[in-house]
Amino acid sequence: MRNIILSILGILLIVGAYFIGKEISNSKKKQRPAPEKVIKTVFTDTVQNGTVQIIIPANGNLVAKRRIELYSEVQGVFKSGRKLFRPGQEYRKGEVLIPIDAAEHYANVQASKSLLYNAIAAIMPDLRLDFPEVFQKWQNYLNTFDMDKTTPKLPEMTSEKENYFITGRGIVSSYYNVNNLEQRLVKFNIRAPFTGIITEALVTEGSLIRNGQKLGEYIDPTTYEMEVALSKTFANLLKVGETVQLNNLEKTQEFTGTVSRINGSIDATTQTITAYIEVKDKSLKEGMYLEANLNAKSEPEAIEINRSLVLDGNQIFVIRDNILDVIDVTPVYFSDAKAVIKGVPNGTIMLSRPVPGAYAGMAVKPYSSKSDKKTTK
């Protein structure tokens, strides 16, 4: 009997311990609150199509429109002139840039002229006897012949006999030999072809200049050109004479230029077309780096938005009943930061700023900032 009572008490103790442990366990479990549904607030804009001016950004370095590299066609010593041949030195049109010692060549010219004069003088008695009708013409030529001036052109020969007689005495060949030497004598003084400035000087006074040697560079500092490479897409949009706004990198100076030339071919490697922008300003220097904004064309019934708003597949997010949706658009032009698109109906509410993790069907709460409201009016 005693054993039975002890067994019953043991069973009751075990059952009681089970229920007490379960109660303690349940009391430690905390009820997790149900997550609240978060609705993102997004910035929106109401679409109003209009005419968008497509502006193509470009950049490049200025190069003088008129620039020449100076080379020597003769040999001699660089003589000192009125001005020192140095970078930054200015010259007027026709002024001597580089005078080269021509004493030896000048002596050869004078010797050849003397031989020509003597050859003509030697045939004068024969002309008096055999060609009296042309004698006075050649006599007048000798009277005007001056050794210190350029050799005058030979008298025009009016008959075959006169031509054979004069040519047979070697007078014509002597004349052209003198003419050739005189032409070469002019090259000993290199003159400025236009008013400009020296930008590079490779020789100094007293240097021995050789035939074909580069002497320096000379530019006209009043007019510059900037070469820009543009996508072939705009080959038919650019026009010669278009006004272009330019500025320096610091945005502190602005200049106005015009499209002066457009290359007729497209670079096969880069698929770009080259345009040249002409600009004039006293503050400009060769080699300056400028940025340009070219007016390509006006696109009607289009809008300009942030480029990041255009999704893969040429779509954008719009809002319908506080739910995000996507619609297809037609891109017209992309720049680094902006995109010009068409195909969005007027009055459509679209995102004005990107939303991280956005997807079609996402619930949102539209909000228009003051700046956005101003742009939609």
pLDDT in tens, 76-129: 999 988 899 999 999 999 999 999 999 999 999 999 999 999 999 999 998 888
Decide: helix, strand or coil at residue 317: strand
- Identify the CATH number of the domain defined by range 72-101+188-219: 2.40.50.100
For the question of whether the overall pTM of this predicted structure is more than 0.75, the answer is no
Domain with CATH 2.40.50.100 in the chain: 72-101+188-219
Residue limits of CATH 2.40.30.170 in the chain = 56-64+222-298
Q: Which residues contact 259 (CB under 8 A, 6 or more apart)?
A: 238, 239, 240, 241, 242, 244, 275, 276, 277, 278, 294
CA 56/CA 297 separation, integer angstroms? 9
Q: Within 13 A of 250's CA, how many CA atoms are on the CB side?
A: 3
Which residues touch 24 (CB under 8 Å, ≥6 apart)?
none
CATH (residue range 42-53+300-376)? 2.40.420.20
For the residues 145-150, what does the mean pLDDT come to?
A: 90
Determine what percent of the chain is predicted with pLDDT higher than 90: 44
> Which of 240, 245, 250 is CA-nearest to residue 289?
250
Query: Beta-strand (E) ranges in 253-322?
Result: 254-266, 272-279, 289-306, 315-320
- Pair 192, 218: CB distance under 8 Å: yes
- Phi and psi at residue 257, to the nearest 5°: -125, 180
pLDDT tens column, 221-277:
999 999 988 877 777 777 888 888 899 888 888 999 999 998 888 888 888 888 899
Q: What is the CATH number of domain 56-64+222-298?
A: 2.40.30.170
Distances (CA, A) of 125 to 114, 129, 132, 163: 19, 7, 10, 17
Give the residue carrying structure tokens 């020597």.
72
Which part of the chain is CATH 2.40.420.20?
A: 42-53+300-376
